Amino acid sequence: MFFSKVLLTTVIGAASLAAQKAPRPIQAQSASTFKSEINKEGERTVDRTNIAYDLSWTGIPGRPPDDRLVLRKTIHIREIMGEKGIEATTTVDAWPLGADMKQKPSYSISLPAVDCRTVEADFLEFDRGLEEVAWWSLYKLGTGEHMFDTYAPLVKFSISQEIMTLRYVGLEVPPDDAADARLKEPHVVAVLTYASAERVMKEVLITADDPKNAQLLRSYPDTTHTVTLVERAPTSAAASKAKRPPEPARSLRIEIGENWPSWPHTRTILIPIVKDDLDLAHATVPAKMHLAAWTR
């Protein structure tokens, strides 16, 4: 009988301890909404708010290796039917997985943007193209820190064939009301950004001798800006000497093309990538345009 009582007490104690150790479930619920009405001017307005939850990958720079983040994305869009352009705000709130989501998030970012997506485990990429101009803002996924803006689709590639070592490239074409007064200088065309997940590694200022030409090359409706990665296979001599497959020769191609109704005229800049750096000394640049290392 004594043995039975001891056994029963042990079982009850173990069950009680297990119940105490079991973590409470984390639950969150948010409502998406839709509203359509006629305003005082007789125009139909449509407001919609969509909320979604996402879970990041592990290996986020700046956080413990196994950490994951719960992301709540809230997109609010207001549109007046028949008018061009919309008003949109995208907000991302982030909590460590397992944290009480009723508490203040680790960070919160709210921007005029129509959407946001994660890029690997490195960045949040906000789509800022509310009007006819396509551009994006990149923020660190781990901390919510702003990294850079780009007016050309983000370029992503690995500098190593053995270990995935990602690099990111963007091209900022400054607007007339740029916050940095240096970007209002009449000869400025754009700023190229070369970055890792952790930091901006190099910025390159692109300028033109003729202010009118620089103004044209900055114009959103008159020009299209693209950045692409160019890779060439190594020479046969380099391949024969290498104990392992040598890395291809890499360059960044920046193209600024004039849009219709202008005659097609594309300015092309080619910048070699050497030892994880941009080799400006051996870059190919159109006449009367220049490249220079630049720091914000």
For residue 132, name the pLDDT band (cuts at 50, 70, 90). confident
- The average pLDDT across 31-48 equals 90
For residue 162, name the pLDDT band (cuts at 50, 70, 90). confident
Q: Is the pLDDT of residue 49 over 50?
A: yes
Q: What's the confidence (pLDDT) of residue 17?
A: 42
For residue 245, name the pLDDT band (cuts at 50, 70, 90). low
Task: Lowest mean pLDDT of 28-42, 119-133, 157-171, 252-266, name the range.
Answer: 28-42
Share of the chain above pLDDT 70, in %: 88
CA distance readout (Å), 59 to 67, 120, 164, 286: 7, 10, 13, 41
More confidently predicted of 189 and 235: 189
Q: Is the pLDDT of residue 21 over 60?
A: no
Is this model's pTM higher than 0.85 or not?
yes
* Distance (Å, whole) CA 147 – CA 139: 5
For residue 131, name the pLDDT band (cuts at 50, 70, 90). confident
Describe the chain by its helix, strand, coil percentages, rounded to 5. Answer: 15, 45, 45
Q: What's the confidence (pLDDT) of residue 83?
A: 76
- The average pLDDT across 107-118 equals 97
- Torsion (CA) 100, 102, 108, 112 in degrees, nearest 10: 140
Q: What's the confidence (pLDDT) of residue 14?
A: 44
- Tens of pLDDT, residue by residue over 166-181, are 999 999 999 999 999 9
Q: What's the confidence (pLDDT) of residue 20?
A: 52
Q: Is the pLDDT of residue 240 over 80?
A: no
What count of other Cβ atoms lies within 10 Å of the Cβ of residue 254? 24
Contact between residue 204 and residue 169 where contact means Cβ atoms under 8 Å apart: no
Closest CA to 149 of 182, 195, 186, 102: 195
Q: Which structure tokens are listed for 111?
A: 């921007």
Average pLDDT, the chain: 89
β-pairing, 249-258 vs 155-158, is: unpaired
Q: Is the pLDDT of residue 86 over 90?
A: no
DSSP string spanning 106-117?
Answer: SEEEEES-SEEE
More confidently predicted of 220 and 4: 220
Q: What's the confidence (pLDDT) of residue 113?
A: 97
Write out the H or E segment, with its range, that includes residue 154: none
